[in-house]
Amino acid sequence: MYAIVDIAGQQFRVAKDDKIFVNRLQNQEGESVNFETVLLVHDDKKVSVGTPQVKGAKVTVKVLSHLKGDKVIIFKKKRRKGYRVKNGFRPSLTQIQIEDITA
């Protein structure tokens, strides 16, 4: 069984016991969170597609940790002008584990 769920403005394909990284959530580590913006649920027999969401479906996740991702480099250059700018940042991420998918 898997589902497509909207978490923090991005869509993810999740299954039970998956661990994924999402944009930073405001919840504390070890806390359980319910996401009710489920766009699709697929079990072994049928597929439920929402318009735009599947009614009564929810995904329960557990927040494992808050961390920073790998460095992203932004490099801008205009050729023959002597213009070069190099910047970078590390995105704030949250690691979550999918505990349950309810259709």
Is residue 50 pLDDT above 90, yes or no?
no
Total domains, the chain: 1
Amino acid 44: pLDDT? 86
Residue 86: predicted pLDDT: 98
Give the tens place of pLDDT for each residue, 5-44: 999 999 999 999 999 999 999 999 999 999 999 999 998 8
Range of the domain at 89: 2-102
Q: SS3 letters for 29-52?
A: CCCEEEECCEEEEECCCCEEECCC
Q: State residue 7's pLDDT score.
A: 93
C-alpha 80/C-alpha 35 separation (Å) is 51
Position with higher pLDDT, 87 vs 8: 87
Closest-CA residue to 37 (of 15, 70, 77, 7): 7
State pTM to two decimals.
Answer: 0.84
